[in-house]
Structure 1
Amino acid sequence: MNYEGTKFSKSRGIGVFGDDAMKSGIHSNVWRFYLLYRRPETQDSAFVWDDFVLVNNCELLNNLGNFVNRALVFVSRFFDGKIPSMEDLQSNDVEFLAQVNHLIESYISHLEACRLREGLRDVLAIARLGNGYLQASQPWVTVKSEETKSRAGVVVGVAANVACVLGLLLYPYMPSIGQQIWHEQCNVPMTALSLLPLLRQDCRLPQLLARGHTIGKPTPLFCKIDTIEASRLSKLFSGGRSEDRKSPLNEPGD
């Protein structure tokens, strides 16, 4: 992997190394994610700060984090924190779940072939489908009427289950984030991790959150990276004396 069009060089202060990443103010999960997202599997790749910011803000914050947070917040806000009934699936629910199952199968195939980057992109594709599913179903609208509230419940229940499984799929890539999703926010026991081998066998979405299950407190998973701060870091790590590479003021997230 190259750095901003040139080679990494510890002696010349070019590039971000382990100790620099720790001092950058950017959470280790984000570094881990980006390096896997841009992992050179068939050809060389490069670390570019503009791309780093774009991937964090679009894929982690607006896609993955947004879907998980929306799905669980809807459970908390509209259904008192309890998973509603998911009976009476409609055709769009079935189609959504079929697409998710297909991506789980693809994810497993990619991991078995050590194509980690592609497996991670399957996870992001599931989140993207989830956002589209919520946007098309609009449970925040249907929940307002007693006649359609049960329909909102189906959508929210399905979305919450997909969000929970995303936590398991993320675990090999971002262990603390995966655990935060399924264990802390979805309130599923740590033993759920034992389902990962079963996913390999079944290649389909397990129902981890049954009707009446009480979830934990939904909280945002990721933070936006400011382009001004990224520009400052880009200059900081583009070459210079080690004493000039000072730690930023903002601290890493939890």
Structure 2
Amino acid sequence: PIGYISITAKARDDWKEWWQNPENVTLYQFMAKDNIPFHTVIFPASLIGTGKNWTLLHHINAIEYLNYENTKFSKSRNIGVFGNDVKEIGIHIDLWRFYLLANRPEKNDSQFTWDDFIEKVNSEFIDNIGNMVNRTLVYLKKNFAGVIKDVALPESHRSFIEECKKEFDQVTEAYETVRLRDAVRTILAIGNRGNKFFQDMQPWEQIKTEPEKAHTTVSVLAYLVKNIAIALSPIMPDTSKGILEIMNINEYSWKDIGQFTGLNDHIVNQPSILHKKLDSKLAEKFRKQFSGKQSDFGRVELRVGKIEEVRQHPSADQLYWLSVDLGEKALRSIVAGLAKSYSPEELTGKRVIVLSNLKPAKIREIKSEGMILVCKHRNKMELLDGSRFNPGDIITADGEKTDHSEITIEEFNNIDLLVRDGFLMSGEQRCHIRGIPVETHELKTGKVC
């Protein structure tokens, strides 16, 4: 943590106005949960020990872990998307900010998946906030020359405004108490409220008989757009700025939030689309690009095996010593960590999937000539199902050249094998035996190990 001070000092001549000014500076820190002792005890104690008037920690905001596609982010293994990647792949930074804060692991670990990222950006933000901003300002510009009017409001509009003000107060409170995910969720709820109000009021019908009422409706919604732009400014600054530029508003402050007057006869600029929807096909592309693994399925020899005998490992309670029929002359000896999840009776006679070209190894003095493959997701585990196949059947994936020479466990771990939608996958290819897919039944997604 001492680097926080030194990097500030290197970047700014006025660093003492920040780090040695506790009367006027409030220090908030954001980090993962495993850093809490350093920043709450060791770092402040070190500063106090110098005897100088340092700015000490006021509030620490620690989060749980964000995981990546059913595994952990790993810079060393190139698993996951990182800041330098975000700069290069062409998705606006504000959409990342939105998703990561909406999915922020404030109380429990959360998961980043490309499918969820694209779905939430499109459905929760663009189809919600983006849609409400665009339809409001386009309608105002097209039908009323972009002019906002302050007029006496009917009860329906006053009630709508009061509910919006309550929610904007909740947004402010969430920011001040560093509940950023709640702030995002409340802003999305306000967007949904605005879309519903637009739909309920039907200004396209009102304008036919009551043009003043239609003008009032979209003027109220224009104020809502302004307020949403201010609410978004701490987390989506470019998007907020873009909305306010369309609205022709150059000066604002947080004190303006919740106000629905003060822009009488103000004229908005020509509306434009904030963000284009993301193509769902990008999920497959980026999932493969940032998996850190090679498809290289042809390097693994996966055979169907029938478990003929199950014995308790003589020196490990959690391990079984199995005799497995792989369609060869002799049974294979395989040590497997299945004792916590399966009884000997459940395993005997079961047909499973075996990594059969794994380099043999001794595990607690027992020779192991392969590995029984399972799907794991969080704290659950399930054997891959080989019940429809015969011992010795080999699993294939289309388009893969085979090299079934001996493989190490490290090489296997770097090969892209997972379960998605209940099917064994190599990258984006479904694995099969004679066209019949290899499946799981309980776990529909997870890593294969």
- What TM-score, normalized by structure 2, do the two folds share? 0.50
Deviation, structure 1 residue 218? 0.8
SS of corresponding position for 1:157: helix
Match of 1:67 among 115, 120, 132: 132
Deviation, structure 1 residue 31? 0.9
Higher alpha-carbon Rg: 2
Cα distance between partner residues in 2 of 1:235 and 1:138:
45
- Give the equivalent residue in structure 2 for 1:10: 75
- Give the equivalent residue in structure 2 for 1:240: 293
- Give the equivalent residue in structure 1 for 2:351: none
Cα distance between partner residues in 2 of 1:209 and 1:135:
25
Amino acid at match of 1:114: V
More helix by share: 1
- Give the equivalent residue in structure 2 for 1:187: 248
Cα distance between partner residues in 2 of 1:74 and 1:188:
18
- Give the equivalent residue in structure 1 for 2:278: 225
Q: Does 1:32 align with 2:97?
A: yes
SS of corresponding position for 2:292: coil
- Give the equivalent residue in structure 1 for 2:152: 88
Match of 1:153 among 196, 199, 215: 215
Deviation, structure 1 residue 112? 1.2
Counterparts in 2 of 1:71-220, with a 5 A limit?
Answer: 71-83=136-148, 85-145=149-209, 148-182=210-244, 184-189=245-250, 191-192=251-252, 194=253, 196=254, 198=255, 205-207=258-260, 210-220=263-273
Instruction: Tell me if structure 1 keeps the 8 A contact 2:161–2:260.
Output: no
Cα distance between partner residues in 1 of 2:272 and 2:140:
13
- Give the equivalent residue in structure 2 for 1:245: none
Cα distance between partner residues in 2 of 1:224 and 1:68:
15
User: Does the C-alpha gap of structure 1 residues 208 and 13 become closer, same or farther in structure 2, counting only changes over 3 Å?
Assistant: farther
Instruction: Tell me if structure 1 keeps the 8 A contact 2:175–2:183.
Output: yes
Deviation, structure 1 residue 240? 3.4
More strand by share: 2
Cα distance between partner residues in 2 of 1:114 and 1:225:
29
Q: Does 1:56 align with 2:56?
A: no
**RMSD of aligned alpha carbons:** 1.4
Deviation, structure 1 residue 209? 5.5
Total equivalences in the alignment: 229
Cα distance between partner residues in 1 of 2:169 and 2:146:
30
User: Does the C-alpha gap of structure 1 residues 221 and 208 become closer, same or farther in structure 2, counting only changes over 3 Å?
Assistant: farther
> Structure 1 stretches (4+) deviating beyond 3 angstroms?
none
Cα distance between partner residues in 2 of 1:168 and 1:208:
15
Instruction: Tell me if structure 1 keeps the 8 A contact 2:150–2:261.
Output: no
- What TM-score, normalized by structure 1, do the two folds share? 0.86
Amino acid at match of 2:186: D
> Could you say which structure has the greater relative contact order, defined with CA pairs below 8 angstroms and 6 or more residues apart?
1
SS of corresponding position for 2:264: coil
User: Does the C-alpha gap of structure 1 residues 21 and 59 become closer, same or farther in structure 2, counting only changes over 3 Å?
Assistant: same
Cα distance between partner residues in 2 of 1:68 and 1:127:
9
**Deviations for 1:30-54, whole angstroms, at most 9, x for unmatched residues?**
1111111111111111101111011
Amino acid at match of 2:292: G
Instruction: Tell me if structure 1 keeps the 8 A contact 2:223–2:260.
Output: yes
Match of 2:86 among 2, 21, 46: 21
Deviation, structure 1 residue 168? 0.6
User: Does the C-alpha gap of structure 1 residues 38 and 153 become closer, same or farther in structure 2, counting only changes over 3 Å?
Assistant: same
Contiguous gaps of at least 5 residues in structure 1 = 242-254
Cα distance between partner residues in 1 of 2:248 and 2:150:
18
- Report % sequence identity: 38
Cα distance between partner residues in 1 of 2:208 and 2:246:
25
User: Does the C-alpha gap of structure 1 residues 217 and 209 become closer, same or farther in structure 2, counting only changes over 3 Å?
Assistant: farther
